[in-house]
């Protein structure tokens, strides 16, 4: 769910490098860890089969990695290895946003993962367009408090923010690589959507800064891609309101009122701005899915209650080829089943709340949030990373106009001019390639591109991994 545009060291320690502090305080338990212990833990994390799972040809692993011993913070992961040639294909970390939403609920269960959950929440079926056809996919529930990830320090759930989330994710990856040494030095990419527009580049910067001195980094980061990504509070906000008006979701009067009353350069809006935005959402939008404005909504009372509860402080949260708007509900049924959690090595400590797709506690109490990701983009472009940004064009939460307006302020020169790209002889969207970044739209897709247009999403992913421009015919 996206926030609406705006919400002693000693003298000796100062002489030591940041890398020293990272190793000394977070990774000390790795020192002396034997190869046998690492292999044993990997075997313990192996999933033989999930309840109601169809037979598959790839391996799966899931479990916990402790990222802070003192607080008892542990992050839950699920690795689905590539269908073929897993030992040669790259590793891709997938992150969903929120902040506070689960990569298993969304990324794995209704977007890029190999499985979908049936309507009864009792079994799984295969996703024809799973991204593990092209890469090994690592789903991470981040930060602590999301999904099965937890902290033994309850206050951690009320003071999460961008900085700690990125730091914990870096610690997770470094420790995870020790448990799975076969992925060390492998080509590595990060992907995600929505508020992962913060998570992904922030983690990329952490990895780049920490491993930059190494000529052969353990985490061999090659690039990242983000979809419908929160990028810049100011420019995203202007682009979002423009989308509402240009797609006839709000009246001329409300559009002019928002532009007049809303500054969008501050974290907090004025009372007049909030009133105008609430009027638009509550009286002019109607009962639509803001994450996919042309598809039907889920009529489940629990789904609608969740959405309206979060409406006032957010530009909402989500959802068509054979599109089912209630898929989130099925996932919540399935992953709360004790036999499923046992098979996944999840909830070993008895978390005192149900597994949910998003954490209301984290969403309400999110602390630090970087106002603009554009300076981080500039740093990572200069570092030579492969960067792709894509947008489903029927999303009104973080719409294509918001992303285009934000990216335009990077001031990048054009390498390949705007053109339509194709998938199965149909226009899949439009794209423009800049020096340092590729932007692409996905035609007919909402906030979760691989959910609404799975074939086009997979084509985009394949082109990204190959480093090729999207097909022109």
State the catalytic residues: 194, 395, 447
Say if CB 465 and CB 441 are below 8 A apart. no
Distance (Å, whole) CA 365 – CA 151:
15
Q: Token pair of 268, please? A: 């907090």
Distance (Å, whole) CA 123 – CA 115:
10
Distance (Å, whole) CA 108 – CA 448:
12
Residue whose entry in the numeric block shows the structure tokens 């990272």: 22
Q: Token pair of 279, please? A: 């009027």
Pairing between strand 136-141 and 91-95?
parallel
Q: Token pair of 340, please? A: 């499923």
**Cis-peptide, bond into residue 256, ω within 30° of zero:** no
Exposed e or buried b per residue across 114-126, where buried means at least 16 C-beta atoms within 10 angstroms of its C-beta = bbbbeeebebbee
- Helices and strands: H and E segment counts in the chain: 16, 14
Exposed e or buried b per residue across 315-339, where buried means at least 16 C-beta atoms within 10 angstroms of its C-beta = bbbbbbeeebbbbbbbbbebbebee
Give the number of other Cβ atoms within 10 Å of residue 302's Cβ.
12
Closest CA to 92 of 186, 167, 164, 163: 186
């Amino acid at each position: 769910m996206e926030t609406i545009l705006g919400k002693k060291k000693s003298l000796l320690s100062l002489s030591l490098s940041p890398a020293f502090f990272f190793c000394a305080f977070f990774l000390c338990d790795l020192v002396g860890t034997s190869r046998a212990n690492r292999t044993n833990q990997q075997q313990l994390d192996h999933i033989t089969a999930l309840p109601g799972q169809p037979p598959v040809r790839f391996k799966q692993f899931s479990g916990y990695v402790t990222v802070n011993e003192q607080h008892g913070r542990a992050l839950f992961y699920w690795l689905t290895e590539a269908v073929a040639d897993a030992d040669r294909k790259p590793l891709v970390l997938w992150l969903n946003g929120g902040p506070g939403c689960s990569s298993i609920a969304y990324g794995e269960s209704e977007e890029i993962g190999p499985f979908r959950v049936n309507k009864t929440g009792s079994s799984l079926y295969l996703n024809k367009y799973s991204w593990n056809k092209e890469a090994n996919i690592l789903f991470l529930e981040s930060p602590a408090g999301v999904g099965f990830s937890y902290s033994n320090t309850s206050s951690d759930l009320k003071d999460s923010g961008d900085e700690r989330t990125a730091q914990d994710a870096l610690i997770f990856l470094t420790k995870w690589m020790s448990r799975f040494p076969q992925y060390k030095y492998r080509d590595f990419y990060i992907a995600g959507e929505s508020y992962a527009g913060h998570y992904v580049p922030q983690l990329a910067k952490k990895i780049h800064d920490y491993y930059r001195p190494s000529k052969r980094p353990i985490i061999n980061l090659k690039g990242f891609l983000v979809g419908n990504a929160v990028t810049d509070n100011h420019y995203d906000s202007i682009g979002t309101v423009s989308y509402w008006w240009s797609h006839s979701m709000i009246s001329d009067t409300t559009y002019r009122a928002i532009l007049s009353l809303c500054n969008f350069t501050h974290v907090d809006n004025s009372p007049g701005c909030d009133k105008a935005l609430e009027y638009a959402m509550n009286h002019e939008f109607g009962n639509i899915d803001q994450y996919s404005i042309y598809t039907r909504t889920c009529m489940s009372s629990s789904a609608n209650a969740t959405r309206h509860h979060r409406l006032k402080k957010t530009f909402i949260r989500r959802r068509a080829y054979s599109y089912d708007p209630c898929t989130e509900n099925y996932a919540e049924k399935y992953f709360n089943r004790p036999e499923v959690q046992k098979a996944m090595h999840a909830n070993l400590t008895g978390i005192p709340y149900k597994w949910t797709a998003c954490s209301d506690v984290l969403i309400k109490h999110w602390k630090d949030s970087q106002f603009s990701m554009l300076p981080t983009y500039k740093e990572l472009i200069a570092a030579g990373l492969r960067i792709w940004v894509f947008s489903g064009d029927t999303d009104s939460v973080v719409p294509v106009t918001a992303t285009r307006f934000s990216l335009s302020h990077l001031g990048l020169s054009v390498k390949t001019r705007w053109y339509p790209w194709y998938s199965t002889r149909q226009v899949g969207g439009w794209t423009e390639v800049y020096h340092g970044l590729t932007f692409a739209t996905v035609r007919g897709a909402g906030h979760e591109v691989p959910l609404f247009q799975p074939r086009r999403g997979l084509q985009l992913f394949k082109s990204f991994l190959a480093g090729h421009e999207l097909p022109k015919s």
